[in-house]
Amino acid sequence: MSKPEFVYTIYIASTPEKIFEALTDAKMSERYWHGASVISDWKIGSPFALRLARHDKEVTGEVLEYDPPRRLSYSFRAHDGSDGGKPSRVTFELERQRDQVRLTMVHDRFEPGSVVLEKVSMGWPLILSSLKSYIECGKVLYAPWYENQAASPKLAVGGER
């Protein structure tokens, strides 16, 4: 059986510095993360929060790695308690490739039988596709379900609001 983890790789025409900034800046994240913002002072061990739009709730965690512009990692406790308060881990790795960056995101350390893995596996492709569009052309991607909660697939990563 394979390890319970979600891995996503995407190439973005940009620099590691710009992408690292987008991953750690509250205002920028709000744009491509559909109103959700990342909040932290980004010191190792400091609290991390992903404040979901139109929600009092937030994903919480701690900063595990902060190595600009190459690696960023934080622990991730689901906003709705669906992980029983046991955090998983999110890690971003940025590698410059000529005039682009390869961004690899790994979401791992799930408890056995976690329902969070399934939800984030649906959420991350949209968030990271939106990040790429935001950085490359200044546009963000809006999926209609952001406007229509009733039709919403269950997305844990900023998809719910």
Residue closer to another protein by CB (options 27, 98) is 98
Single-letter code of the amino acid located at 9: T
Least distance from another protein to the Cβ atom of residue 129, Å: 4
Residue closer to another protein by CB (options 45, 144) is 144
Rounded distance between C-alpha atoms, residue 71 and residue 65, angstroms:
7
Among 75, 82, 91, 100, binds another protein (CB under 8 A): 100
Restricted to residues 132-161, the positions that interact with another protein (CB under 8 A) are: 132-133, 136-137, 139, 141-145
Q: Which two tokens stand for residue 3?
A: 């390890």
DSSP reduced 3-state for 122: helix
Q: Please, which residues have CB within 8 angstroms of residue 39's CB and are 6 or more apart in sequence?
A: 26, 48, 49, 50, 51, 58
Which residues here bind another protein, judged by CB under 8 A?
Answer: 1-2, 8-13, 95, 97-100, 102, 125-126, 129-130, 132-133, 136-137, 139, 141-145
